[in-house]
Amino acid sequence: MTDPAPLAVVTGASSGIGLELARQFAAAGFDLVVNAEDAELTAAAASLRETGVSVQEVRADLSSYDGVEQLWAAVQATGRPVAAAALNAGVGKGGAFLDNDLADELQLIRLNVDAVVHLAKRLLADMVARGAGRLLVTSSIASTMPGPYQAVYNASKSFVQSFVEALQSELRDSPVTLTSLMPGPTETEFFDRAGLRNTLLGRPALHDDPAQVAEQGFRALMEGKDKVVGGSLMTKAQAVVNALLPDTVKAAGHRLAAKPRDEPRD
C-alpha cells in the first residue's frame, strides 16, 4: 500500500492567485479542498482534477461565520489531516472612504480579517496538536503603506501581516510554519471587483503574473520562510523602498495611484 497524498486547503481558489496556488499544490501531488463563493469554482476544480489529484470543491461565503464553519466541516469530513493550507480569499474596495457603501467596507473586513482569524484558529489548533503543518496567508505589500482611496483594504492587510508575524513568534518552538505572501498589484479579477480599473493602480501593464506570484509563495511555504514578496523584480524593489520611506510619503504615492482618473488630480 502507498501512503495517501497530503491534503491542502486553498481559499479564494476560483481564479487569480488562489487558483494558481491550487495548481502549485496539485503539481506537487497534494489532494485538494478548494473554496470560493462564486460559480467559477466548479470550472476551476474540474481543471485541477485533470492533473490527477483528488479535488473537493466547497462553495461557501467566508465573509460569514457560518460560511467558514461550512468549509471547516467539509475539511473535517475528509477524515484526513491538513498538511498545508493557503488562506487567500480576499476582496478590495477602491474609492473615497466617505463615498463608499458601509456594507461593502464591513464585508471586506469580514472576509479579509475575520475569516483569516477564524480559519487560522481552526487549522492551527489541529496542526499544532499533531505537530505538523504549513499555513500560507496572502497579505500584500499594501500592508506596508497607508492606502488613500483604498483605505479599508490596506488596513485589512496591515492587520493580516501583523497577525501572521505575531503567530510566527508564538509558534517559534513548534514545527508548524506560517508564511505570509505579499504580492504587489497582480493581474486578477481583484481590480474589476474593487472598482479600481479607472486608476493608475488598475492598469494591467503594471501588474504581475498571478502564476509567478503563486509559484514564489508556494516555494516559500514549502521552505518554511516567514514571508515572501511575490511578483516581479520591480515589485520586490518597491517593497524594499517602502521599508525606508515615511508613511506620509507612501500615502501620497498611493493617493496618486489609487485616485479615480475622473477626479481632479492633486
- Give the pLDDT confidence of 128-175 residue by residue, as tens digits: 999 999 999 999 999 999 999 999 999 999 999 999 999 999 999 999
Q: Is 153 a catalytic residue?
A: yes
Q: What is the pLDDT of residues 82-128, one digit of tens each?
A: 999 999 999 999 999 999 999 999 999 999 999 999 999 999 999 99
pLDDT bucket at 265, cuts 50 / 70 / 90: very low
pLDDT bucket at 259, cuts 50 / 70 / 90: very high
List the catalytic residue out of 149, 153, 191, 218.
Answer: 153
Give the CA count within 13 Å in the CB-facing half-sphere of 132: 8
Q: What is the pLDDT of residues 13-38, one digit of tens each?
A: 999 999 999 999 999 999 999 999 99
What is the DSSP annotation of 136-190?
EEE--GGGGS--TTSHHHHHHHHHHHHHHHHHHHHTTTSS-EEEEEEE-SBSSTH
**What is the rounded average pLDDT of the residues 195-218?**
93
- Does the predicted model carry a pTM greater than 0.75? yes
Cell of 39: 460559480
Residue 56 DSSP symbol: E
Cell of 130: 499533531
**Relative orientation angle of helices 151-170 and 102-109, to the nearest 10 degrees:** 20
At residue 211, the pLDDT reads 96
pLDDT bucket at 263, cuts 50 / 70 / 90: low
At residue 206, the pLDDT reads 86
Share of the chain above pLDDT 70, in %: 97
In 3D, which of 52, 38, 49, 41 has the Cα closest to residue 19?
41
